[in-house]
Structure formats: structure tokens, C-alpha cells
Structure 1
């Protein structure tokens, strides 16, 4: 994928994010909160995996 295409995709995603925040800020906050929870849970799972791997 070219640099120009990546830039266009990034602009479209940012525009959609801004649109979502202005039209429904509560739902946008819920989505960000849920995504953050998924990232934290995934990171904790990776830490548990390596911890159990090293403690064997």
C-alpha cells in the first residue's frame, strides 16, 4: 500500500472519529472504553502467559 493511500485512509478514519464524537459522544466514549478494556485484557493475558512460562 502506498504512502498516499495510507494517508487517505488515516484522514477518513480520523474524520469518522470526529463525526462519531460530535453526533454521539456517549457512544463514542463507550467504544473507546471498551477498546481500552480489550487492550488491557490482552496485555494482561500476555503477561500471564510469560509468567507461567518462566515459572515452570
Structure 2
């Protein structure tokens, strides 16, 4: 029951955040995407170093 409430609360917060602060929401999404790209690059470099 708690998991369901937290899930719907999170979805409601995301909708509210995007609706009332679209610039901030876009910046957060850009930061998350950049972080994921850096993480993928790090893994790539790691596995390349292992193979070489």
C-alpha cells in the first residue's frame, strides 16, 4: 500500500514540476542525461582498458 502511494505521489510531483517549472525540469533532465552519458563513457573506458 505504501509503495503504491509513493509511486502515485512521485508521478504527481513530476507532473506538477514539469507543469509549473518547465525550465527547471528541463535542466534536471539535461543534468541526469549528462550524468548517464558520463557513466556510460566511464564504463566504456574501463572495459576498453581491460581488453587492451
The TM tier, using the shorter chain, reads 0.7 to 0.9
Q: Structure 1: any 5+ residue segments left out of the alignment?
A: none
TM-score (norm 1): 0.82
Deviation above 6 Å: which 4+ runs of structure 1? none
TM-score (norm 2): 0.87
Q: Structure 2: any 5+ residue segments left out of the alignment?
A: none
**Aligned Cα RMSD in Å?**
1.0
Count of residues in Structure 1 that have an aligned counterpart in Structure 2: 52
